[in-house]
Structure 1
């Protein structure tokens, strides 16, 4: 038997609740914004309100900076036997939960790798996690029954549980999600200097590479700040590669290039490495795997 509560009825929380409803589980929906919880309930995601007795598992679907406080609050209220979260950063919430004195034996960090650039319950999709990885980051204190419950949650949502350490997870999403969001955002910001005539020439390539820049700036400030060191490491290497390309283009753009062969080789090398890197990205599950939009959109 599986009973659940979802705290935070945004995109991710409501999508989880919808997936659970499809499996016969009726989640209890809680949100500091009552209208958001009612909207999720109207979509068929569950019932609004605190359960009469503790549920098996509560999902904390709030941004990273709020995870520890919300976990502490609802453990004290006796919401559930075990708890997980869906934030796209794992190390900082875990440390903060320990500092607040949360019962870490009943908590297992989680991150479903599915998302969209939209936010809120109306953007939720019941199949958002189908075929996608769902990362679990249990601590040394996490009890086995709590880990099993979070694995069951992932499987009920159609995802594949993957166990990682908090630090390994944060380095992985810095490379595959957080740094790409920054790059897409900075590229999209360049469009502010374009005139209407130029922007009318926009093609699908530009739309694809800037799609995720539509994400909520406030949420992404929280996400990036919570994983700042790992993201900065990736962007430092990216900036170094970009500088090489800029210098090669500057040289090739002069009337008489000083090092035409070297600059051309550098440019070609960057393009070839891009092709090789892109080839390493796993094929998406049915419906597409948007890792850069996967950060915990509460």
Structure 2
């Protein structure tokens, strides 16, 4: 028996694959390589290049590899860009999830861990986000993730699908030097690129109502995130009761200024960030509680901010 990881050649998905192997579980990967990398998938892991929009292909993979459950990571993950590409975002994230669930029902696979997003909360009016915080997504990306959770819920009612969704904010770091974040939109790669190009990274606003004036966010290490996905898969396989959604949060967060200071300390490159204007819609602080995930999924922050920066920097330098 095996676990199918959709999007398993991507930054997050590949870390999930490694964590599954380390846990003694057998991963299988499907990925269309639109943003993933074939080299991120270990040579001994079965890999199928294809789209989650291809129901026949998914059903064949589920059958041929005797899949007992799915960890659904595949999707279009750029919230800002999703505003310009709403139809593409909905096709990949909503239609793709519906097609996947249809193939699972056809084959009789009844367990799924959904890699959701804290973008389902939008800009919450609270200092600490919990699972009960009202959902008010502010981008097609956030909306698509919330709809994905609804699809799982409705399939659970209709077919007995056993499921849980993991919501998280900013994922950083590298679990291994050969697995790294190649996104052109994420903070860490943007800062590293600026430093290597001799440019000063930018902070968008330093006059927020926070201790140092810059925005405070949740940043979690990708290896910790991967372990939570595996813990959820194991719990579903064992029949342990899980909530339908968990926040993977730090409970306190870090500021953009703290990240810049850690970047300078770890890289050894002294710099003074440029200060730009606030970006419209950026709240001062968004931090989630991870208490329920800690209770049920052994969720914890195993890596410090310096660990996150150092691991990401080491991987970045290994792949100029």
TM-score by length of 2: 0.41
Which structure's relative contact order is higher, taking Cα pairs within 8 Å and 6+ residues apart? 1
Q: TM-score, normalised by structure 1?
A: 0.44
